[in-house]
Structures are given as structure tokens and as C-alpha cells.
């Protein structure tokens, strides 16, 4: 896990939040060797959060379940 947790807000008008070594969020993710440059995206749509794997090399897990790219 990333040591320095950060809070953020997503709304229906917000662009998806991309998680990975290539972006600026979250700080400290570069220290995690199993994270791709563009690893996953989180967005808020129709009242729910959606997590999408962006074809990362090691996959993205949500609640212990591997997401399909």
C-alpha cells in the first residue's frame, strides 16, 4: 500500500482519476514496483464509483478480486 494516504473528491462532472506511475496522483506510487505507468482509473457515474483496469501488466484488484481490463 502507499504510505502517504491522500483524500480526493470525485463528482459526476470530474474527469476519471488515473492511478499510475506516470501521473501526479497519488504521490508515492512510484515506489510501488507492481504499478504500471497508467494502471487504473476511478470515476463516479450515475451515483456509483467505477474502477477500471487500464490493461496494466500486473492487473488491478478491488476487494481482493482481479478486475478484467
**5-44 per-residue burial string, b: 16 or more CB within 10 A, e: under 16:** eeeeeeeeeeebbbbbeeeeebeebeeeeebbeebbbbbb
What band does 58 get if pLDDT is binned at 50, 70 and 90?
confident
How many other C-beta atoms are found inside a 10 Å radius of the C-beta of residue 60? 21
Query: Is residue 21 a contact partner of residue 36, using CB atoms and an 8 Å limit?
Result: yes
What band does 23 get if pLDDT is binned at 50, 70 and 90?
low
Average pLDDT over residues 34-50: 83
Claim: this prediction has a pTM higher than 0.75: no
43 alpha carbon, distance to own chain's centre: 9
pLDDT of 1 reads 44
Amino acid at each position: 500500500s502507499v504510505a502517504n494516504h491522500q483524500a480526493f473528491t470525485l463528482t459526476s462532472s470530474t474527469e476519471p482519476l488515473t492511478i499510475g506511475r506516470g501521473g501526479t496522483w497519488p504521490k508515492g506510487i512510484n515506489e510501488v514496483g507492481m504499478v504500471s505507468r497508467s494502471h487504473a482509473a476511478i470515476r463516479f457515474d450515475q451515483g456509483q464509483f467505477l474502477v477500471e483496469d487500464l490493461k496494466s501488466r500486473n492487473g488491478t484488484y478491488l476487494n481482493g478480486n482481479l478486475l478484467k481490463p
